Chains A and B, each alone.
Chain A
Amino acid sequence: SQTIHQWPATLVQPVGSPLSLECTVEGTSNPNLYWYRQAAGRGLQLLFYSVGIGQISSEVPQNLSASRPQDRQFILSSKKLLLSDSGFYLCVTQGNDYGYTFGSGTRLTVV
């Protein structure tokens, strides 16, 4: 079965600072990978998805970027954080059995 590791669990960063959230997957190969964000009082919004190494698709224009340097590694980054980047970030993987596995999430607060 798939296991997804996401870190850190919580992060408090000043406006203008950089960001790097990492997600790694075990138990599957060539998974689809996704980054979602839940802002306060809102649903889960898809930010990026990747169907393979180096392949990144962006769903919404924003201050963030994503990269997939290895098959089972997905990274969410920003060069300069904005207050509006605060939220709960989730890494999700979809393996060969159409099942979706969620990471434990990162609570990001930009101050």
Chain B
Amino acid sequence: DQQVKQNSPSLSVQEGRISILNCDYTNSMFDYFLWYKKYPAEGPTFLISISSIKDKNEDGRFTVFLNKSAKHLSLHIVPSQPGDSAVYFCAASALQGAQKLVFGQGTRLTINP
């Protein structure tokens, strides 16, 4: 049972354009969402998070949007840069209990020069 889903395994974007990565979740108990960037053989790097009391959070070139009614969140990167090429993971957590992070399958983003 995949509680967090990233339905696009890969995405290719031109340098300077906007990259939009999508994530869906099924568990209505999730109230904290995070995006991570990951390179092979390294731990994930935290990018940005959002709690369920907000619908948008922005940090530099990264913006996360949360649509609670649709159980959908997205990460926007603008403008996209070649250094953004990596695998991006969406993760969700419930702030009660063990607060386990549940990850999506990841989306490989490639930024073309």
List CB contacts (< 8 Å) of B64-113 with chain A. 89, 91, 95, 98-106
Residues B101 and A100 in contact, CB atoms below 8 Å apart: yes
Which of A68-76, A77-85, A90-98 contacts the other chain?
A90-98
A6: nearest residue on chain B (CB-CB)?
B43
Chain A residue contacts of B91, Cβ below 8 A: 44
Chain B residue contacts of A98, Cβ below 8 A: 32, 95, 99
Q: How large is the interface on B (under 10, 10 to 19, 20 to 34, 35 or more residues)?
A: 10 to 19
For residue B34, CB closer than 8 A to chain A, the reply is yes
Q: Is the interface of A mostly helix, strand, loop or mixed?
A: strand
For residue A28, CB closer than 8 A to chain B, the reply is no
Residues B98 and A51 in contact, CB atoms below 8 Å apart: yes
Interchain CA distance A103-B41 in the complex, whole Å: 11
Of listed A42, A51, A100, A104, residue having the most chain B CB within 10 A:
A100
Interchain CA distance A59-B42 in the complex, whole Å: 23
Across the interface, B89 reaches (CB within 8 A) one of A44, A92, A99, namely: A44
A contact residues vs B (CB 8 Å cutoff)? 32, 34, 36, 42-46, 49, 51, 57, 59, 88, 90, 92, 94, 98-100, 102-105, 107
What are some 16 contacts across the A-B interface (CB < 8 A)? A42-B105, A44-B89, A44-B91, A45-B103, A46-B101, A49-B98, A51-B98, A59-B100, A90-B43, A90-B44, A98-B95, A99-B46, A100-B46, A102-B43, A103-B43, A105-B41
